[in-house]
């Protein structure tokens, strides 16, 4: 099949060299620095002041483009060269953003525009952008003087280095481990997993199957391997990654973590906050640290009874198999057995029904029915043979573009994410359309068959696509509030978790499933089993998320900052109170908790649960009005997806629902209250 060429100006991934990227980024940084150095005082006229704001947006747009390409390559094609270029630019980039955030004349220029009599006549997006910029100036220490200002700059620079180190250690520790397996050790694994592990062996010139710590491999072993010792070995290798408990202590993140916590606390203090959690909450939807704490503890109360029942069931099936004391490396394995027993459902039986091309095609037709948009694959230069490029059309007009890069491979960071490196923006050359990447670590294709996804992977794909739509369906032209920009972090997971609901519905499952060989869609018994099993262990899963969220919040509200021992004690204490699953003393989960040490989720991991309330409650309206109701879809698009950071998250939600969010739908969607929707 030949594809038409991309209509948007896409990055030339086949030609870009690291040297060029480096030059472009250095150029962007020096342009920015020169501009702010020349701005000594607030310009006299409002026109000139507005020109300054416009220029700042233009500079940000250039930076976002070249840095977005480099950091993407550093994340998905990581090697010594990308890493070296990335590392070499990090200090000056961080320095530039600190200078920008602390630039007094620039801050005053924004303030002047804000205070001018014209302000009220500006478009809403522009007003919001200016208000958010003023908030962010304060949060980046514009009011600091002398030594404090200098110290803030040092802290920022060091923190950006540390989070990059943290992430690299996790990647290196993950890649450093592999284990050739005997035939005996493969017992219990389905054929498709064995094929995958053999493929990993071939990539290392080995004849044996090889277990790695990449997610598809790790999960296959934990779910299916009958060999309990092997599961324990993998569990230990995985949960001690980047720690003092690991074989490779050179990747130990313990000192990195301690320094990050200490610097964050110091920074929060400098800015007048009692602790980093308060600083983090200053730009979020949740009103206070206490409100978040209370929300999580209350949710835990709802989850506790279901979770206790779930762990009893798990213990029973383990005991029936001769395991009297269930260990952490047993829980996934017996959960799978239990699922098969309770629902006659195995992940493996489902996989042939979710070949990637069908799932993707189904996803596109779902968003077409919901929002009236078309997705078309187009030809564009790519960085890897697994990547694809698509464009989004609305009534024949291209409104955005995106890349998929879905499969796990060596040199790619773990997890799944959307990254919007080019935003919608009004430029001198006309309207710039948004483009983003959506990256996953799904089970790669084995042999020449298309990749078969687990249902969990299907859910993840929909999740990331929700983020992507948020980025691409924006109707805001101002870079700092377009798409996900300027949206409160704890509301950002609304569109993503919202999309997940379409992986749990009869009608949409029919669109995304088709047996790889027979081409039949999901048969009635499997469909029923899948839907019945939806709430399987939802209590335990919720408690696990709450454990992570409370841990994150606790270590960031502790002042003075905790050392590694105290961090461990905090985690143990939270597990003691909230977890129903066993753990072991050597577990160093925190050492690879990249979300909070290398991502943007510090004192913000609760955002997933916070936004899930919003997503559930939004979907509740679709349940009443029809999940493919294009009118409801249109309203959701207009109220939530289109507005970016133009409207406060709560206002946007209220516009869609006609009232403030309620937790009831979430409890129902976890299977904890009556499943038939009332009214």
Q: Judged by CB under 5 A, which stretch of 245-253, 488-496, 509-517, 579-587 contacts Zn ion?
A: 488-496
Q: Which of 223, 335, 496, 508 binds Zn ion (CB under 5 A)?
A: 496
Minimum distance from CB of 292 to Zn ion (Å)?
Answer: 18
To 10 degrees, the CA torsion angle through 279, 284, 286, 289?
A: -10
CB-side neighbour CA atoms (13 Å) of 181:
31
Minimum distance from CB of 19 to Zn ion (Å)?
Answer: 34
The CA distance from 400 to 435, in Å, is 6
| Site residues (CB under 5 A) for Zn ion, limited to 310-369 | none
Token couple for 364? 């596109």
User: Minimal CA–CA distance to 401: which of 15, 75, 3, 10?
Assistant: 10
Binding mask 434-473 for Zn ion (x = CB under 5 A): ----------------------------------------
Minimum distance from CB of 489 to Zn ion (Å)?
Answer: 11
Minimum distance from CB of 459 to Zn ion (Å)?
Answer: 11
Minimum distance from CB of 542 to Zn ion (Å)?
Answer: 17
User: Minimal CA–CA distance to 174: which of 153, 194, 200?
Assistant: 200
Binding-residue total with Zn ion (CB under 5 A): 2
Nearer to Zn ion, 116 or 541 (CB): 541
Nearest residue to Zn ion by CB is: 496
Q: Please count the other Cβ atoms lying within 10 Å of the Cβ belonging to residue 250.
A: 10
User: Minimal CA–CA distance to 624: which of 558, 559, 668, 660?
Assistant: 668
With beta carbons less than 8 A apart as the criterion, state whether 62 and 28 touch. Answer: yes
Q: If you write DSSP's letter for every residue of 299-324 in order, what string do you get? A: HHHHHHHHHHHHHHHHHHHHHHTT-S
Q: Judged by CB under 5 A, which stretch of 203-211, 432-440, 489-497, 574-582 contacts Zn ion?
A: 489-497
Minimum distance from CB of 467 to Zn ion (Å)?
Answer: 6
Token couple for 407? 């499969």
- Give bridge partners of residue 439 from the DSSP assignment: 405, 417
Q: Is 597 exposed, middle or buried (0-12, 13-18, 19+ CB in 10 A)?
A: buried
Nearer to Zn ion, 152 or 489 (CB): 489
Q: Judged by CB under 5 A, which stretch of 39-47, 89-97, 391-399, 495-503 contacts Zn ion?
A: 495-503
Q: Judged by CB under 5 A, which stretch of 77-85, 487-495, 570-578, 598-606 contacts Zn ion?
A: 487-495
User: Of residues 336, 348, 464, 547, which has the active-site annotation?
Assistant: 464
Nearer to Zn ion, 240 or 496 (CB): 496
- Give bridge partners of residue 45 from the DSSP assignment: none
User: Minimal CA–CA distance to 474: which of 371, 589, 564, 593?
Assistant: 371
User: Minimal CA–CA distance to 452: which of 223, 227, 209, 220?
Assistant: 220
Nearer to Zn ion, 153 or 418 (CB): 418
Minimum distance from CB of 604 to Zn ion (Å)?
Answer: 12
Question: Is 78 a residue that touches Zn ion (CB under 5 A)?
Answer: no
Question: Is 607 a residue that touches Zn ion (CB under 5 A)?
Answer: no
Token couple for 427? 């430029």
Nearer to Zn ion, 266 or 493 (CB): 493
464 is catalytic: yes
User: Minimal CA–CA distance to 422: which of 7, 6, 10?
Assistant: 10
Binding residues (CB under 5 A) for Zn ion: these are 493, 496
- Catalytic residue ranges: 464
């Amino acid at each position: 099949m030949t594809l038409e060429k991309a209509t948007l100006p896409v990055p030339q991934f086949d030609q870009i060299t690291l040297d060029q990227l480096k030059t472009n980024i250095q150029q962007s940084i020096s342009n920015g620095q020169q501009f702010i150095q020349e701005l000594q005082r607030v310009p006299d006229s409002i026109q000139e002041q507005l020109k300054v704001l416009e220029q700042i947006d233009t500079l940000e747009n250039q930076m976002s483009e070249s840095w977005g390409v480099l950091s993407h390559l550093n994340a998905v094609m990581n090697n010594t060269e990308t890493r070296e270029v990335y590392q070499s630019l990090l200090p000056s980039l961080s320095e530039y953003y600190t200078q920008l955030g602390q630039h007094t004349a620039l801050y005053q220029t924004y303030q002047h525009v804000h205070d001018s009599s014209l302000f009220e006549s500006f478009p809403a997006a522009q007003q919001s952008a200016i208000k958010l910029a003023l908030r962010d100036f304060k949060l980046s220490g514009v009011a600091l003087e002398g030594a404090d200002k200098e110290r803030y700059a040092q802290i920022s620079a060091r923190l950006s280095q540390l989070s990059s180190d943290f992430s690299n250690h996790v990647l290196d520790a993950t890649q450093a481990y592999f284990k050739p397996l005997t035939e005996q050790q493969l017992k219990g694994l389905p054929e498709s997993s064995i094929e995958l592990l053999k493929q990993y062996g071939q990539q290392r010139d080995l004849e044996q199957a090889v277990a790695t710590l990449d997610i598809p491999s790790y999960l296959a072993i934990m779910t299916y391997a009958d060999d309990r010792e092997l599961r324990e070995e993998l569990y230990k290798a995985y949960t001690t990654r980047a720690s003092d408990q690991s074989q490779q202590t050179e990747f130990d993140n313990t000192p990195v973590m301690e320094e990050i916590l200490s610097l964050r606390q110091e920074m929060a203090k400098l800015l007048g906050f009692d602790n980093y959690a308060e600083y983090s909450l200053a730009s979020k939807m949740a009103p206070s640290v206490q409100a978040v704490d209370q929300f999580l503890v209350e949710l835990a109360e709802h989850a506790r009874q279901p979770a206790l029942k779930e762990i009893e069931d798990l213990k029973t099936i383990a005991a029936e198999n001769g395991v009297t004391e269930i260990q952490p490396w047993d829980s996934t394995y017996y959960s799978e057995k239990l699922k098969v027993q309770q629902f006659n459902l195995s992940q493996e039986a489902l996989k042939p029904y979710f070949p990637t091309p069908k799932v993707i095609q189904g996803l596109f037709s779902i968003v077409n029915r919901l929002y009236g948009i078309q997705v078309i694959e187009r030809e564009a230069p790519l960085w890897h043979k697994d990547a694809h490029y698509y464009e989004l059309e609305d009534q024949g007009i291209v409104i955005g573009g995106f890349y998929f890069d879905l499969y796990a491979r060596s040199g790619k960071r773990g997890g799944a994410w959307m990254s919007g490196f080019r935003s919608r923006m009004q430029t001198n050359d006309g309207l710039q359309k948004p483009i983003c990447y959506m990256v996953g670590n799904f089970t790669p294709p084995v042999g020449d068959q298309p990749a078969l996804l687990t249902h969990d992977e299907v859910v993840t794909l929909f999740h990331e696509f929700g983020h992507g739509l948020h980025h691409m369906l924006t109707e805001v032209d101002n870079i700092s509030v377009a798409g996900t920009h300027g949206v409160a972090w704890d509301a950002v997971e609304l569109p993503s978790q919202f999309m997940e609901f379409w992986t749990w519905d009869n009608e949409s499952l029919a669109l995304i499933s088709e047996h790889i060989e027979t081409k039949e869609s999901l048969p009635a018994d499997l469909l029923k089993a899948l839907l019945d099993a939806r709430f399987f262990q939802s209590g335990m899963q919720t408690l696990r998320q709450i454990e992570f969220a409370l841990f994150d919040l606790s270590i960031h509200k502790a002042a003075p900052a905790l050392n590694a021992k105290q961090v461990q004690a905090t985690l143990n204490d939270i597990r003691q109170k909230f977890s129903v699953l066993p753990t072991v003393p050597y577990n160093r989960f925190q050492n690879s908790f990249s979300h909070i040490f290398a991502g943007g989720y510090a004192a913000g991991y609760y955002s997933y649960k916070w936004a899930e309330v919003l997503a559930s409650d939004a979907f509740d309206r679709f349940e009443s009005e029809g999940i493919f109701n294009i009118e409801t879809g249109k309203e959701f698009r207009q109220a939530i997806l289109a507005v970016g950071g133009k409207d406060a998250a709560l206002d946007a939600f209220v516009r869609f629902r006609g009232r403030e969010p309620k937790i009831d739908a979430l409890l129902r969607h976890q299977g904890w209250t009556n499943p038939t929707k009332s009214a």
